[in-house]
Chains A and B, each alone.
Chain A
Amino acid sequence: MRRVLNLACRLVLALFAAGLVLYFSGYSPLAAYKAMIWGAVSSWDGIAQTLVQATPLIFTGLAVALANNCGVFNIGAEGQLYLGAMAAAVLAAYLPPLPHLLHVIIALCGGALFGGLWALIAAWLKIKADANEVIITIMLNSIGTLLCAYLANYTFKAPGPVPQTPTIHSSAALSRLGQGAQFSSALFVGLFFVLVVWFLLYHTKLGYDLKVVGSNPRAAAAAGINVPQMIGLTLLLSGALAGLGGAGQILGLHGRYIDGFSPGYGFDGVAVAILGGNSPLGVLFSALLFGLMRAGGMILDRTTNVPVDFVIIIQAAIILFVSAPELLKTLKINWKKGGVKHARTVADK
C-alpha cells in the first residue's frame, strides 16, 4: 500500500512538472489534461485507441521489466522490435497462405526468434568481453533500425514509392476486433504474455533464480546458478518479447512492414517498466496508462493546438520522478504509519 502511495505521489509530481512546461509554453495545463483524459475515455473510439496504443507498450514494457529483474538493462527493445516486425512481415507475406492459426503462430514465432537473437548479441558480448549491455543495446538499436530500413527499401520492397514490404496474407493477420476499431487480437497476445511472465517470475524455479541473479550475482554464483547462462537466457526472452511486440504491430495493425513504423515503442518500454515497478501486472497497468495518454494526446493534437509530443514530456517526467529513489526524502515528504504526513505539503513548494 505504501509503495502504491509513493508511486502515486511521484506520478502526481511528474504530471505537475510536465504541466509546468506546458504552462510556460503558453498553454493551459489543466485544460490540456482534461481534454486528454476525457478524450481517451469518453467514447468507444477513444477507449479503442487507448488499447491500440497500449498494445506494443505491453510487449516492450515486459521486455525491459523481465531483463531488469535479472539486473540486465535492456535498452535495446527498439531494435529488437524492428527485427521482430521485419521477420514477421516477411514470413507473413512470402510464405504461401497457410491455415490461419498456423500462419499466425509461425509469423509470431519468427518475430520472437529474431528479436531474441538480436538481444542475444548483447548477452554474448556482455558475457564474453564484459561489455556494457547498455551501450551495446543502444548501438544495436541503430544497427537494427538501419538494417530493417535497408530490407524495406531494397530486398523486400513492395512496388511503389513507399519503403514497405508487400501486404501480408490474410491467413497471417491477427483478426481485428469490433467494427471499424483498430485494435486487434495482438492485445490478447500481450495479455497472455503478461500472465506468462508473471508465472515465470513468481511461480517457477527459473524465475526465482533469475531474480536472485538480479539482486546479487555473486550470491547467485555461490548458490550454483550459472550466471552467464541466466543472463543470456534472460536477454533472449526479453528480446523475444520485444520482437513479438513488433510482430503484433505488423500482423494486427499495419498488415505490412512500413519503414519507421515505431515512434519509439522500445524506449517507451523503459518508461513503462519503471512505472510498473518491473512487475508484469505493473507493466500492464502502466502500459494502459501510457496508452491512454497517447490516445488522449492524439485527440489533444486534433482538437487543440497542443501537439501530441506533450505526451513525450510527461513520459520523460515520469521516468525522472519515478526512478529517483531519494526524491521524496529530499522534498521532505514522509509517510508515517497509518497515513500520509507531509512535513511540507506539495502545494507549498
Chain B
Amino acid sequence: MLEQWLTSDAAYIIIGLISSMLRMATPLGLAAFGAVYSERAGVVNLGLEGLMLVGAFFGVLGSFLTGNPWTGVVFSLIAGGVMALILAIFTLKFKANHVVSGVALNLLGQGITAVLLVAIWGNRGKSPDVAGIYPVYIPGLSDIPVIGEIFFRQSPFFYMMIAIMIISWFVFYRTKWGLRLRAIGENPAAVDSLGIQVFVYKYLAVVLGGMFAGLGGACLSLGELSMFSRNMVSGRGYIAVAATILGNWNPVGVVLASLLFGLTSAIEMNLQLYGWPTQFVQMLPYIVTILVLGGFVRKVSPPKAVGKHFDRSDTYV
C-alpha cells in the first residue's frame, strides 16, 4: 500500500513540495533569528533586507577570493555583524529612531552591494559563479524513504538553522543570559537596577542577530545560486520580519512561521511552472501578518520596551 503510494505522482509532488518548503524557509528562518535576538533586547530590526543583501554579497566575495565557500560563510557573518553594529550604534548610542535606522540599513545594503558589484567585478547585474555550498546527503539517514528524502538531503544551511533554533531556545529559556536578555526587552531599567550591563547585552544581541541575518543572505547566494545578483534578496527580508511577528519572537515559533511562508514560496514556484498567476500566493505571508496584528488570528506579544530608548541617566532622576 505505502510502497504503491510512494511511486505515485501525488507522492512525488508532495515530497517535492515539502522538500522545497524546507529549502525556501531556511533563509527566512535564519534572517528572522536576526530580528528575534535584536528585538528581544529591545532594538527594532527592520533592516533584515539590507543585512541579508550584504551577507549574500560578502559570502560570494569570500568564496570568490579564496575558492572556499566556507570562507564565504565567515565573510557573510562578519558583514552582517558589522552592518548590524551600525544599527546598534545609531539606535543605542545616538538614540536614532529604530524604524528609521532600519530603513536606512536596507538602503545602505542595496547601495553598497550594487556599488561593490561594479567596483569588484565590473558588472552591474551579477557576480561570476563561485564555489557554492551544496546539499549534503547525511549518510544512512538520507536513505530512509520519504523522511530521508525530505529532511536529510538538505543544504547545510538548513541544519544550521535547526541547530541555531535549538541552541537559541535553550539560551533564551534555560540560561540566565537568556532570561536577562528577555528582561531587557521588557524592562531595561529593572535589569539595570540589578547591576547588569544592559547596553553590553543590547549590542551583543543586535550584532549576533545581524550575523544570523547575514548567514541567511549567504544561504541565498552561496546555497542557492552560487553567485550574487543585484537585489537578489527581493523582499525576503520583509517576509522574515513577518515571520518574526507570526512566530511571536520565539526561536521555535519563527522557524515554524518560516516553514509556513516557505510553503507559500514552494507553491508559488509550482504555479509559475504552469504559468499561473503567483501574485496572490506571494501576498499570503503579508496578509497573514496583518491578520495576526489585527487580532484576527492569534495574540502575539512583542517585547514591551522594543523600540524605546533606554538611558541610565533617566532611571535615577
Contacts and interface: CB of A to CB of B under 8 A. Distances in A.
Given A138-B46, A138-B238, A319-B103, A147 B293 contact: no
B195 interface: no
Interface of chain B, helix or strand or loop or mixed? helix
Contact of A139 (B93, B100, B105, B286): B286
Contacts of A325: 94-96
A193 B106 CA distance: 29
A140 B290 CA distance: 8
B202 to A, nearest CB: 16
A35 interface: no
Given A25-B119, A307-B118, A129 B293 contact: yes
A154 interface: yes
Contact of B277 (A128, A153, A307): A153
A149 interface: yes
B86 interface: yes
B283 A142 contact: yes
A316 B115 contact: no
B108 A324 contact: no
Interface size class of A (residues with CB under 8 A): 35 or more
B93 A147 contact: no
A313 interface: yes
B114 A309 contact: yes
B104 interface: yes
B280 A21 contact: no
Interface string B92-118: 011111011101111110111011111
A137 B235 CA distance: 14
Interface in A111-132: 125, 128-129, 131-132
Interface in B76-134: 86, 90, 93-97, 99-101, 103-108, 110-112, 114-119, 122, 124
The 10 A-B pairs with the shortest beta carbon distances in the complex, nearest first, are: A312-B111, A309-B114, A324-B94, A313-B111, A316-B108, A316-B107, A319-B104, A150-B279, A324-B96, A131-B293
9 contacts: A128-B295, A135-B245, A136-B290, A307-B118, A312-B107, A312-B110, A316-B107, A319-B103, A323-B97
